[in-house]
Copies of this chain bind each other. A is one copy, B any other.
């Protein structure tokens, strides 16, 4: 099952010719999820050749413009390009009013079903699930109400070992019981314990998105052990006071969260436009958490 993240924007509030503001595209078993949608995101989707009509769910972390000003344009393009499939948006309730005001002003009645799911970012909460994945939102700490998101595969069934299938004739109806952990008794009454028959399923993969936020350990319980943590790193440590004043984090702080949460890999982004060369920022983070990577526009991370 595909589990990959494409970075559509790695910059902070001000778009530049090399870094668009925040948007991530998550491909989970060929179902596409968009997280944040800065101005220009629809062009980034084109640039990276993502078939954007396949996006079914959009999650907006908070209502600063660099995280949602591209949403109304994307919704409009879906409409103009003849979308029929339903779309789900998760965000602060004020977002729904803003989108509706813009659609109304242009006399647009969307030709596809749009479902808005209000987010309040007050507690750890499951906001979506399908057969493969759950999505939780949780509060991070920023100047306006802001959600982090955790995308996590569901536990899959145990696998019946190939050597077992080659030697024991298991009737088909018994298969699913064994996959769910059951033992098997053959027609002669011999009992096979589940651990003789199966191997562990792959560990469920997970991706956490934490942007924007000041340094806070409050959400570590939700992101612990995840495969990829995306954590904002607007500044380097020398600007830690600016970071705190603006409710943002430094590269070193992001790395500290990654270390304490014992995640596998850290991806940092939301870089202030002041940094042309990001190598020192990467080195700063790696001095604390070696498995750190830069969220360059167009970068793809696969778990």
Contacts and interface: CB of A to CB of B under 8 A. Distances in A.
Contacts of A81: 14
A155 B43 CA distance: 44
Contacts of A46: 16-17
A101 B76 CA distance: 19
Interface in A82-129: 92, 94-95, 97-98, 101-102, 105-108
A42 B21 CA distance: 13
Given A63-B106, A69-B72, A73-B69, A13 B43 contact: no
Given A39-B39, A98-B98, A17 B47 contact: yes
Interface residues of A, number: 36
A39 B73 contact: yes
Contacts of A191: none
Given A72-B69, A106-B64, A107-B143, A15 B39 contact: no
A139 interface: no
A11 to B, nearest CB: 11
Given A40-B39, A77-B14, A80-B14, A105 B95 contact: yes
A144 interface: yes
B73 A65 contact: yes
B98 A105 contact: yes
A148 interface: no
Contacts of A16: 43, 46
A103 to B, nearest CB: 9
A70 interface: yes
B42 A80 contact: no
Contacts of A105: 63, 92, 94-95, 98, 144
A70 B39 contact: yes
Contacts of A39: 39-40, 42, 69-70, 73
Nearest to A144: B107
Nearest to A13: B80
Contacts of A73: 15, 39, 65, 69
A65 B69 contact: no
A110 to B, nearest CB: 12
What 6 A-B pairs come out closest when comparing CB atoms? A63-B105, A39-B73, A65-B76, A94-B105, A69-B73, A64-B106
16 contacts: A14-B80, A15-B42, A15-B43, A15-B73, A15-B77, A17-B43, A17-B46, A39-B70, A63-B106, A65-B106, A69-B69, A94-B105, A98-B105, A101-B101, A105-B144, A107-B144
